[in-house]
Amino acid sequence: VLHQDRSAMYGWRCVETSHMLSTGAAAPGLTTVIAFVFFAVFVLFVLSLNVVMPFRTFAILGATTFMMNFANPLVKTSGYMDLAWESEMVVTIVVQLAGSFIAIAAVMLPPKTAQGKVKGLAARMTLETTKLLSFFTDYYSGTHKTLKMNILNSTLTNMREDMQEQNEKLDSSWWETFDWGNRGVVRYLMLSHLKMLTDLERRLSIMQIAVQNETFDDKHDRAMQVMKPDMMELAKAIGDLLMYCTLSASDGKFSASEKMQVGKYQEAVEQAREQHKKTWKSERLRQGALSREMRQESFFSLELDSMSRIVLDLSEHFTNERPQPVNIAFGYLKKLVDIKKLHSDSDYRNFIVRNWISMMLAWWWA
């Protein structure tokens, strides 16, 4: 409330300044009355808007400067409102329109650099994810530790940096299209893609811990000799489905042929997933269902299965559950006038009436 009162006081002082700048005195005429009525309605409207105080202050001060000149009896209004290039009104309108169109064009016209980088980063992170999944699976189903693990750790670190950059680019890309049309669909798809990759990255980090702590004993070697073909097949199927969905989503559309191809990749993942479950269940029973030595292998297999489920869910979302982008700009415009707040918030109404009265008194006195 104190901040709001200070803003109103600032407006009052600006009106006082306008008064001090005027010289002499003259009786107000019809022009002054019209300006006063317009200003009264405008101020009441602006104070009622559900916006921050700096917006209200700027709008009211702009109107005060303009309308005070129009209402001042000492200012000659002859030619002021004429439709001629020498008219101050025409000059003001032309300049405002030109500036507004240039501002819109600056964010709407190509090149749309942020969204282009978003697509590139999405493809690169998908490639990194599929490589890491295959490398981790191949490494873990091996027989001994190698220096290849250091390369995997570096790739995982680079992937996290790319995800951070992707998040920033997605925020920036909103200003290029405001989520309008097909480009808004692309941004929503990329947001879902990033959310999914964040989940996969967390699971890859868990798999990394399992790989680092693996002792590669005899039980592990015997189990992996049986499990490795099915595990590698599942990892490959996951990577193929994820990469195809990512590339197909870059234009925001899925054609009938693309959906058919996605269905084939989904079927491949489902089959590899079922085979992996069956083989692992058989091997676990053979090794001992409650064997302490096989807990790490069980954990790795569970994470691999979970990743296949996550990618399947994403592909289903991309193809059959199309995102409906919300026009955020239009949504905020609809919230500018909060009728419910005007009816229920007595403090808000008191703020509007109090400051409107003070502005009207300051105007008429000036």
For 335-352, what is each residue's pLDDT tens digit?
Answer: 788 888 888 888 888 999
Q: What angle in degrees, to the nearest 10, is found between the helix axes of 218-248 and 295-320?
A: 10
Q: Which amino acid is at 255?
A: S
Residue type, 339: I
What are 98-127's pLDDT values in tens digits?
A: 988 888 777 666 566 777 888 888 888 888
Beta-sheet strands, E only, within the chain: none
pLDDT tens digits, 203-247 = 888 888 877 777 777 887 888 888 888 889 988 999 999 898 888
Q: Which residues of 72-109 are buried (b: 16+ CB within 10 A; e: fewer)?
A: beeeebeeeeeeeeeeebeeeeeeeeeeeeeeeeeeee
Q: What angle do the packed helices 113-140 and 295-320 form, to 10 degrees?
A: 150
Would you say residue 7 has pLDDT above 60?
Answer: no
Query: How many Å is the Cα radius of gyration of the chain?
Result: 33
Residue 340, pLDDT score: 84
Both structure tokens of 102: 């240039």
| Separation CA 363–CA 22 (nearest Å) | 13
Task: Give the model confidence (pLDDT) of 90-99 as tens digits.
Answer: 888 889 889 8
Place of tokens 């409906």: 324
Distance of CA 106 to the CA centre of its chain: 20
